[in-house]
Amino acid sequence: MGTDAILLHGPSGAVLYAGPTLAPLLGMDDVTSVHNVLDVVHPDERRELKNAFTRGLIRGTAYGPARHRIHHRDIGWRDVDIVTLPVRNATGNVIELHTTMIDITERRQAQERTAVQEKLLRETNALAKVGGWQLDVDTGALYWSDEVRRIHDVTDDYVPTLDAAIAFFGAEARPVIGQAMEDAMTKGGNHDLELPVVTANGRNIWVRTLLKTEYGAGGRPKRLFGAYQDITERKEQERRLESAIDRLTKHNKQLEEFGEIMSHNLRAPVSNLVMLLHMLDQVRTELDRRELIANLSSSVDQLVQTLDDVTTAVRVRTGNAMPAEHVSVEAVLERITAELAQAINAKGAVLRYNLLACTHIDVSPVYLEHILFHLLQNALVYASPDRTPVIDIDTRLVQDHAVIRVTDNGLGIDLERYGDKLFRLRTTFHRHHQGRGAGLFLVKNIVESIGGTINVWSAVGNGSTFEVQLPVKGTHR
């Protein structure tokens, strides 16, 4: 505890009376050796104090409280507050001075400790990006700590209001924070929210805010207060982690699909080869031998074609995406129709384009050629022999995707029967149409590798529509 010492003295500082608490203040056993107040005051401050004593005698003015240093026998100079008051007689004349020395050492040390703690708190809050806030429920006065101001990119003298504070939250978050504050005032309890905020500088950040209610008389809410933390870095780390998990999950799924593709599509040709090889050892005539060798050659060709198709699909799905370009759909179609000219002429097919709504697509030209080639080829392969084949190709933009539709009036597909096999290798949908069954398989793999989707609508005898949606900004994996 601090010590207050009382002295009575004249204007020169000569001691008339010293209270017993002066001794411990000066580190002495007694104060009989103290004859003048000024003797225990720091030399640099004696003139100021003597002048104050003189004014007190002549003018009757009080002095202090003023900070001075006095000498302690053991610890040296220590801080005190000095207050001097004039003492008057019955006629009102000043006859002596009454000085109180108030030991403020502990108070100063406490202030210094508090200052250190406050500095440490500010620095740790800045490192952790945590601030504090409080709202007076009755007056609506809102207080922000320095760190909360820093988080919002506002100046140190910024005075927040409740409406302005809520306006910093993203539009979708404002009802959430508003409801949380209402619940805190009406129902109490603690609330822990993570919400998006747009700062005064336009930065998009994430904050974590904690709300707690303090109640006053009668159980009425008196104050809302809590912590406020910038968690943008953590949110970004979570986003990157989720993205990494998604990529790993996707790659794992691709590996599983690759295994399924290899198992499903290689089993038949390999089994056929094994069977033919066994039969080759058992044939007796040269004619049978030549027939088996021809079958073996066909099976090997089939196996090589299957491996080529699977390799192409796997390369698309697991390799690096090819760079996107601003590709003209019409130019790609010109190249494809030239390549398919023989099949188009043989079928007498009519191709109709409607490309005005989306003339260009940001995609790899190789990918777009693969997609359109196989969709057109599929329409030609399954054209109806009962009518002139008509194939419509139209493009449009839907939000952030380019949409390509290829519609034909061909044989159509029984989706109930083939829906789950539609995009597998070596799948055909009608008798006497024995293609390799690779086109739709490759289209689906290419489309999905760049973040797109493919859908089909079809009815037997009424043709089919394939719709491909591709992201408009480059390729995405």
So what's the pLDDT on residue 33? Answer: 87
So what's the pLDDT on residue 303? Answer: 77
Q: Assign 125 a pLDDT band (cuts: 50, 70, 90).
A: low
| Residue found under tokens 């959430």 | 176
Superfamily of domain 325-471: Histidine kinase-like ATPase, C-terminal domain (3.30.565.10)
Q: Which of 83-87, 125-129, 240-244, 384-388 has the weakest average pLDDT?
A: 125-129
Please state, in angstroms and rounded to a whole number, the distance separating the CA atoms of residues 440 and 429.
Answer: 12
So what's the pLDDT on residue 87? Answer: 94
How is residue 421 annotated by DSSP?
G
Q: Which residue ranges does the chain devote to CATH 3.30.565.10? A: 325-471
Q: What is the mean pLDDT of residues 1-11?
A: 82
Q: Which residue ranges does the chain devote to CATH 1.10.287? A: 238-318
Q: Which of 43-52, 243-252, 301-310 has the weakest average pLDDT?
A: 301-310
So what's the pLDDT on residue 475? Answer: 36
| Residue found under tokens 């029984």 | 414
Class (C level, CATH) for 129-230 = alpha beta
Q: Assign 417 a pLDDT band (cuts: 50, 70, 90).
A: confident
Q: What is the mean pLDDT of residues 220-224?
A: 86
Q: What is the mean pLDDT of residues 243-266?
A: 73
So what's the pLDDT on residue 127? Answer: 59
Against a cut of 0.75, is the pTM above it? no
Q: Which residues pair with 404 in a beta bridge?
A: 395, 468
Higher-confidence position of 371 and 286: 371
So what's the pLDDT on residue 270? Answer: 78
Class (C level, CATH) for 238-318 = mainly alpha
Higher-confidence position of 47 and 255: 47
pLDDT of 347 strictly over 60: yes
pLDDT of 340 strictly over 80: yes
So what's the pLDDT on residue 257? Answer: 65
So what's the pLDDT on residue 45? Answer: 95
pLDDT of 477 strictly over 60: no
Q: Assign 282 a pLDDT band (cuts: 50, 70, 90).
A: confident
4-110 carries CATH number 3.30.450.20: yes
Rg (CA), the chain: 45
So what's the pLDDT on residue 451? Answer: 87
pLDDT of 351 strictly over 60: yes
Q: What is the mean pLDDT of residues 358-383?
A: 92
Cβ 69 vs Cβ 25: under 8 Å: no
Q: Assign 439 a pLDDT band (cuts: 50, 70, 90).
A: confident
So what's the pLDDT on residue 320? Answer: 57
Please state, in angstroms and rounded to a whole number, the distance separating the CA atoms of residues 87 and 98.
Answer: 6
So what's the pLDDT on residue 345? Answer: 94
Please state, in angstroms and rounded to a whole number, the distance separating the CA atoms of residues 97 and 202.
Answer: 64
Higher-confidence position of 269 and 35: 35
Cβ 441 vs Cβ 423: under 8 Å: yes
Mean pLDDT of the chain: 85
Joined together, the tokens standing for residue 281 give: 């050892």
DSSP string covering 343-364, please? HHHHHT-EEEEE-TT--EEEE-
pLDDT of 435 strictly over 60: no
pLDDT of 306 strictly over 80: no
DSSP string covering 40-90, please? GB-GGGHHHHHHHHHHHHHH---EEEEEEEEEETTTEEEEEEEEEEEEE-T
Q: Assign 121 a pLDDT band (cuts: 50, 70, 90).
A: low
Q: Which residue ranges does the chain devote to CATH 3.30.450.20? A: 4-110, 129-230
How is residue 322 annotated by DSSP?
P
Cβ 112 vs Cβ 17: under 8 Å: no
